[in-house]
Amino acid sequence: MLMSDMKTRRPGGQEKIIRDLTVGSVPKTLFTFALPLFLSGLLQMVYNMVDMIVVGRFVGTAGLSAVAIGGEVLQLITFVAMGFSNAGQILISRYVGENRTDLVGEMVGTLFTLLESLAVIIMIVFLFTYQDIIRWLNTPDEIWEYTRQYSITCVYGVVFIYGYNLVSAILRGMGDSRHPFLFIAIASVINIVLDLLLVGPLHMGPLGAALATVIGQAVSFFFALRLLYRNREQIHFDFHPSHFRIYRSVIRPLLSLGIPMVIQSAAITFSMLFVNAYVNAYGTVAVAVTGVARKLESMIGVVSQAISSAGGAMVAQALGARKTERVPRVVFHALWIVAVPAAVFALITGFRPDWLFGLFSDDPAVLAMAVSYVPVAMVQYLGATLRPASFALINGSGNSRMNLAVALLDGIACRIGLSLLLGIVLSWGISGFWYGNALSGLVPFLIGSAYLFSGRWKKAVTK
């Protein structure tokens, strides 16, 4: 039987970090595993929002808009980490369910080598192309320098971002969602303190906010790395330099699942940037409103991501252990767990949009435009409620083709297609681009539902 008590101490200060997700009540296990993931995402969202709130208050609308666009640039360089990390987490969960600890260790070495190598390559490429990227996003002239400072500084921390993502994926794949929460808590506290210091008294503007983010991520990554090293026996990876390499036994399934996930992340990221480039052309106020709206929607997004990640790990372990009867229960419970906070937040947004957007900016023009975004936010919340259950099933079953289908339909056909149709062809203006982005978020639910009722996910059970 796999170890399930994460709090039990071992000699030498080690902790049991492997947890069996195929036993006990489905809703209780899902909620218990997802709660630290949700808190982790909430903290990450909070410290990202702090960047915008502090810059918005100390620098003004120009600084707020620069951080919003800089955040889009940061998404552009992190989608590879998200794709391969999620794939690694699913495969580690499957290996744990099959009790193949030898493959777990080889996956750890492969993830480190692959992702950190990609991080260095992406950082170098970005340093040569960042001006073209910022220009492609239609960055207004008055915030160009702020945006450049924020983007360049954040890219130097990409090694730490990739490192944190891969370590968290390893731990979550083993059923440990508590430690990633602790690490992101460390990053959040450091980020908030440095934000207030660098942007406030030291008047460093968006550059100070970016420095606070990078330093927080670096410290968090080193704490996470230390935990893995102390528990190296459990993950069957001794951290010897010669073992940081690509293992033939796991690289094929990692690429098979990871590449479609990367394509999915890339399609969504690029399509959102494509739409935002049109939005940015409407001026600094439009950039600020859209940026704040994205941060507010991320409050439901962290719940969705937590349930999607937890559900994916549970589905993967259940299929690895041949407990297929748990899979539909995971999917259905994932739906209502997200629906409750989404409904509460929809009510707050609907009745007090001025208060929500006022947290970031007191510019009357920003607050006036924010009111028109409320109906769009409701569509966004609906999509955020329906998506995680579908992604848990698709990712947990390791269906790479389904991931690719979602990527192409959601990211390209629907988001870009609907945005151009509503925004340009039907002349809805900025509202058309907002609605096009929001409506595309319903696509994963439609595909995932068909996949669930077809029963084809059962083919993922180990032969």
How does pLDDT run across 68-102, given as a tens digit for each residue?
777 777 777 777 888 888 888 888 888 877 888 78
Please compute the mean of the pLDDT values over residues 24-34 and round it to a whole number: 76
pLDDT at 461: 62
Give the end-to-end CA distance of the chain in Å, rounded to a whole number: 21
Contact by Cβ (8 Å): 184, 44: yes
Residue 68 belongs to some domain of the structure = yes
Residue 10 belongs to some domain of the structure = no
pTM over 0.95: no
Please compute the mean of the pLDDT values over residues 289-317 and round it to a whole number: 80
Whether the predicted pLDDT of 211 surpasses 60: yes
Residue 359 belongs to some domain of the structure = yes
Residue 11 belongs to some domain of the structure = no
Please compute the mean of the pLDDT values over residues 262-291 and round it to a whole number: 80
Please compute the mean of the pLDDT values over residues 63-67 and round it to a whole number: 78
* Percent of the residues in the chain that have a pLDDT greater than 70, as a whole number: 92
Torsion of CA 416, 418, 423, 425, to 10 degrees: 110
Angle at 153 between CA 152 and CA 156, to 5 degrees: 90
Residue 6 belongs to some domain of the structure = no
Please compute the mean of the pLDDT values over residues 415-442 and round it to a whole number: 89
For 381, half-sphere exposure in the C-beta direction (CA atoms, 13 angstrom radius) is 22
Contact by Cβ (8 Å): 454, 399: no
pLDDT tens-place string over residues 394-417: 888 877 778 778 877 877 778 888
Whether the predicted pLDDT of 9 surpasses 70: no
Whether the predicted pLDDT of 184 surpasses 60: yes
pLDDT at 1: 31
For 213, half-sphere exposure in the C-beta direction (CA atoms, 13 angstrom radius) is 32
Q: Where residue 435 falls among pLDDT bands split at 50, 70, 90?
A: very high
Residue 146 belongs to some domain of the structure = yes
pLDDT at 409: 82
More confident residue, 176 or 253: 253
SS3 state of residue 100 = coil
Distance (Å, rounded) from C-alpha 82 to C-alpha 256? 15
Whether the predicted pLDDT of 276 surpasses 80: no
Whether the predicted pLDDT of 312 surpasses 50: yes
Residue 386 belongs to some domain of the structure = yes
More confident residue, 384 or 269: 384
Whether the predicted pLDDT of 13 surpasses 70: no
Average pLDDT score, the chain: 81
Residue 14 belongs to some domain of the structure = no
More confident residue, 45 or 385: 385
* Percent of the residues in the chain that have a pLDDT greater than 90, as a whole number: 5
Whether the predicted pLDDT of 186 surpasses 70: yes
Whether the predicted pLDDT of 264 surpasses 80: no
Domain count, the chain: 1
Torsion of CA 354, 358, 362, 363, to 10 degrees: -60
- Structural domain span for residue 67: 21-460
Whether the predicted pLDDT of 11 surpasses 70: no
